[in-house]
Structure 1
Amino acid sequence: MKELCRILIVDDEILVRQGIKHYMVWEQFGFQIVGEASNGKEALELVDQLQPHIVITDIVMPIMDGEEFTRIVKQRYPHIEVIVLSSYGEFSYVRSTFQSGVADYILKPKLETQELLQVLQKTARRIPSLQYNEDNDQELLSIDHIIEKVISGYEVNYGQELIKQAFPYEHYCLIGVQPSGYIANNHTSAAVQSHLSTLGMRLAEVLESLGTSIVFRPAPVSDSGLIVFLVNLEESQYSTLVTVIQQLADDIHAQSPQIGWVMSSPFHTFEQIDPVYHQQILKLLDYRFYFPDRRLMLESELPPPVAVQGAFNLKQFAEEMKREHFEFAFQELRQYVTAMSANYVSTPFELKSFLGNVVFNIITLLGNLDYDVEQLDAEKYNYFKQINEAEHINEAIDLLNRFLLVVDQQIAARTQPNSNSNMKKLLEYIDIHFAESLSLTGLGQYFHFNPSYLSSYFTTHNKEGFSEYLNKIRVEKAAAMLKEDEFTIADISSKVGYSDPSYFTKVFKKLTGLSPSQYRRKHLR
């Protein structure tokens, strides 16, 4: 079989990489795109693994630029040819790469199919170890290449007979495997790629064990952190396949709980690979954010999504904040986030963007109210980063709650300098309103305290808790009434704020040592 000239593409712009990759059916001209990287450091890891004949590299890239990358490649692998892509203003860099021994260069603004093909053909002919033949025939258009084109949404001409020979059964499905948090974290590390390769081999072994009743092929996708397999099978075999993949997911979960598995529903034609990949596989991978405990995601097993009723009323939230009704505002926020967590068809990006926006607005609003937000402001980018990297809904909500806890502490800290004055106002309010249905929440809203903080604040500054103090005041008021014979004990209970006379009796006896009736008899003699 004729040998193809292997090409590695190195460019930090994904659109450039994808553009070159899909310019044409490269196999028809004797070339094969074997890999791609976004910077020189990534590319060096791939060069040894893929052994390309030619590397096409950009000049200006992060981490390791094309100039340094070219120099290292030509030192370590002098047999590999390098073609440089450059912009108009980068010729000084290009000149230095020629000193390292590059084969040619192409201006990116003038990058066209025919020019690139001509440069590649000229370069391939000068490689002694490669018997390059630019007149390769259609047989070199492999099944793998066809799958890659179709799943990427590109049109490609292929014979139905070729597909029928490769996939003889009536139904297909796609299986996807991806570590959670992959994109947000280190999606280019060699360790992750090695782990993915191991997972792919495990999956292939399991599919192979099912015997001759199914056919499977890896489906190359643009996301290098995702493994996808195309499986061809009879519809009756689908339930068996689900059971087997579920068992594999369970087994791997014991060692690698961060790995997510998804499976599409069965579909009927090869042409459906692209829509099934984008509308099921990628969406199911997103849905994992909302179902962190599911080891295998199947669309048929998902509950109905619960749509959020309307957008969050940020204007009303800001008004409550300005009035310093913090407890109410944060309660409304938490309720909305809880509702969002049930609407799994909303992308993780949408939810994370909402949380980041809320964090930013709360810090800004508190600053406008002259609260000390120096600590919050210094930490805000850390909050944004942690929210963005949250791997599941519970982690994202926990981050919000931790942020709100810090906010509550900052709000509470503002009241401390006037503690004596505030305590006096609290006690005066209770002395006047003791007969009403008082609560920490009500007092907190009235005095703009956080209720949880108010509880500890009251105990610290009054040497007794809120409930104890309220009961003491009520019993004192009741005792004064019991010394007169004007009201019944039930009436007195109601007048001092107790709706249940038996509970009033219990509290009164606990504090005075006498029941209300005993107390009355003692003082009326």
Structure 2
Amino acid sequence: MTVGNPCRVMIVDDEVLIRQGIKHYFNWEEEGFLIVGEAGNGREALELIEEVKPHILLTDIVMPVMDGEELTKVVKANYPHIEIIVLSSFGEFEYVRSSFQSGVVDYILKPKLDAQSLLEVLRTAVKRMPDIYLSENHIEVTHSVDQLIDKLLSGYEVDSLEEAEAFFPHPAFFLLGADIKQTPGMQAEVKEQVRRVFAEKIDHAVCHPVKTDKEMLVFLLNIADRRYDEVVTVLKACSRHQPGCGFVLTSPFSDFANLGEVYRNRFLQLKQYRFYFPDKELVLQEDMSAAPGQPLHFHLEWLTEELKCGRFDTAFQYICEHGKKLSACCTAGVHEFKSLFNNIIFNVTILLRNIGYDVKELEIHQYRQMSLIEEAGSAQQVVSRLEAFIAEAKQCILQQQPAVDNPNMKMLLAYIDEHYMEPLTLTEVARHFHFHPSYLSSYFSNHNKEGFSEYLNKLRITAAIRQLNTSAAPISEISAQVGYSDHSYFCKVFKKATGCSPSQYRRKRLK
């Protein structure tokens, strides 16, 4: 590395707010460092390392997909020159000890993380790299521009825009996005093609990459006035030469200081619109004005009656048609849209169970399809997952007669399904139905595939999963809402049922 160039740092943490906070603790470039990339888990970090070539990796320990311990081992095995600093919580000593054995520089406790302690550890890491010498006097303009852009996109105010004005000399700005969901392994190729096309087709255009995630490359485009049509033509040609890659383009804006506002209020809307229309080669701001209105109300009460009366074909046809109508309405946020479909799947399973069908096998399909919905890159993919689940529900019905023919069990299950969110106990249910508790326990086990406690916990955990998918409420509040007065017991039961804690489950869903 050339003496005096910034030391390159990559941040790896599954919590976006922590990554943002670290990036803005201090002026990294003034201290001789440059943040070259960020990732939400170990796998994303490994995909970025070759592209951004960091000298230092600042990584969390507990993350989904690939944690910091495994990431440390892989990086040290394949990139031994990269120094690693670990972020940890108080309860992660075994992880930290294991990572030290893999050769990390140091660790920082998250609750005690501050600018000074972070700088000290970073400087310690630099001392272990003899070819790097930090210089506060050698800061290139492009690095300062990148930091300005990052602050504006993150919602921070900046003191001076002089460097940006020199770097972007033209009066018209656009935010341009290249959708790479269908071509995840071609980020570098798409990025280079976009920059090359604008360099060749539009004189003096500045096409600067500003943000990258697993779904979209983002560029800040700076050109002369009255060349909007020219930009659109170039992008359409670019899309045709890069199959599977589409683009979104904001309307022009003239003030660089408005970059963050344009990103949040225009660009993210265009990105959402593309989720509904993934085959459109170019999404423009004017397309949003023609967006369909709000979707129709889902008639759950009517659906319940149809299923109870055995009119399954009518009920399932309504569900599929409603799903297609929802996919044609691009006003709902992507998370909200996916939650609506997960709720439909959840309710169908509950209703079939209440009718008396054995849905144990269907529940496995339910969780698989809900997981695939969370990973879906387009509205059409979400609809196909719903249709796949409906096909599995039909198969469930065809393969069996209702498993509950006993009217007493039907009343018991219906009562539990209605009151599970209350502090329900076997004794209270027995009192309600005038049974002795021990007799009810035996009766329930003999006439149902699950015992009373197992059935009640499954119902509550399923409801908790539903809320974690659709609500931002605190986990302690969710545990109380689904019937658990003891939060620690809820966490224990949840982990036993799903294999992870409620907080880990929520973090996975937010990715």
The normalised TM-score by structure 2 is 0.69
8 Å CA contact 1:352–1:396 kept in 2: the answer is: yes
CA distance in 1, matches of 2:248, 2:338: 22
Judge which range, 101-110 or 329-338, deviates more: 329-338
- Provide the residue aligned with 1:312 in structure 2: 298
CA distance in 2, matches of 1:356, 1:206: 41
Distance 1:118 1:135, change over 3 A: farther
* Aligned-partner SS, 2:9: strand
- Provide the residue aligned with 1:220 in structure 2: 211
8 Å CA contact 1:29–1:136 kept in 2: the answer is: no
CA distance in 1, matches of 2:132, 2:153: 31
Match of 2:228 among 234, 238, 249: 238
- Provide the residue aligned with 1:109 in structure 2: 111
- After TM superposition, the structure 1 = structure 2 runs for residues 11-410 of structure 1, keeping only pairs within 5 Å, are 11-40=13-42, 42-44=44-46, 46-47=48-49, 49-62=51-64, 65-67=67-69, 69-70=71-72, 73-74=75-76, 79-125=81-127, 127-134=129-136, 142-159=144-161, 161-180=162-181, 192=184, 194-221=185-212, 223-253=213-243, 257=244, 259-302=245-288, 304-308=290-294, 311-371=297-357, 373-408=359-394
* Aligned-partner SS, 2:207: strand
Q: CA deviation at 1:367?
A: 2.3
One-letter code of the match for 1:248? C
* Aligned-partner SS, 1:89: coil
Judge which range, 120-129 or 106-115, deviates more: 120-129
* Aligned-partner SS, 2:211: coil
Deviations 1:320-353 (A, max 9, x none): 3223344444454445334323321113333332
* Aligned-partner SS, 2:91: helix
- Provide the residue aligned with 1:508 in structure 2: none
8 Å CA contact 1:6–1:31 kept in 2: the answer is: yes
CA distance in 2, matches of 1:133, 1:10: 25
CA distance in 2, matches of 1:330, 1:76: 52
8 Å CA contact 1:147–1:220 kept in 2: the answer is: no
* Aligned-partner SS, 1:235: coil
Q: CA deviation at 1:244?
A: 1.0
Distance 1:370 1:171, change over 3 A: same
Deviations 1:421-477 (A, max 9, x none): xxxxxxxxxxxxxxxxxxxxxxxxxxxxxxxxxxxxxxxxxxxxxxxxxxxxxxxxx
8 Å CA contact 2:178–2:246 kept in 1: the answer is: yes
* Aligned-partner SS, 1:288: helix
* Aligned-partner SS, 2:4: coil
8 Å CA contact 2:12–2:59 kept in 1: the answer is: yes
* Aligned-partner SS, 1:228: strand
One-letter code of the match for 2:165? K
Amino-acid identity (%): 41
Deviations 1:141-200 (A, max 9, x none): 6222212221222222223x4333222222111110122368xxxxxxxxx3x5011001
Distance 1:351 1:35, change over 3 A: closer
8 Å CA contact 2:146–2:210 kept in 1: the answer is: yes
Deviations 1:354-403 (A, max 9, x none): 22221221222122222454553342223323434444444443443454
Deviations 1:208-241 (A, max 9, x none): 01243422211135x3542111111233111011
CA distance in 2, matches of 1:224, 1:412: 41
Runs of at least 5 residues in structure 2 that lack an aligned partner in the other structure: 403-511
Distance 1:374 1:25, change over 3 A: same
Asked which structure has the greater CA Rg, the reply is 1
8 Å CA contact 2:105–2:124 kept in 1: the answer is: no
Distance 1:264 1:64, change over 3 A: closer
* Aligned-partner SS, 2:111: helix
Deviations 1:282-304 (A, max 9, x none): 22222123223311111213563
CA distance in 2, matches of 1:343, 1:211: 36
CA distance in 2, matches of 1:131, 1:318: 70
Distance 1:250 1:364, change over 3 A: same
Q: CA deviation at 1:267?
A: 1.3
CA distance in 1, matches of 2:63, 2:397: 46
Q: CA deviation at 1:242?
A: 0.2
Q: CA deviation at 1:412?
A: 5.8
Runs of at least 5 residues in structure 1 that lack an aligned partner in the other structure: 183-191, 417-525
One-letter code of the match for 1:219? V
CA distance in 1, matches of 2:74, 2:311: 62
Distance 1:211 1:391, change over 3 A: closer
8 Å CA contact 2:304–2:351 kept in 1: the answer is: yes
Judge which range, 28-37 or 61-70, deviates more: 61-70
One-letter code of the match for 1:174? L
Distance 1:113 1:354, change over 3 A: same
- Provide the residue aligned with 1:423 in structure 2: none
CA distance in 2, matches of 1:297, 1:321: 41
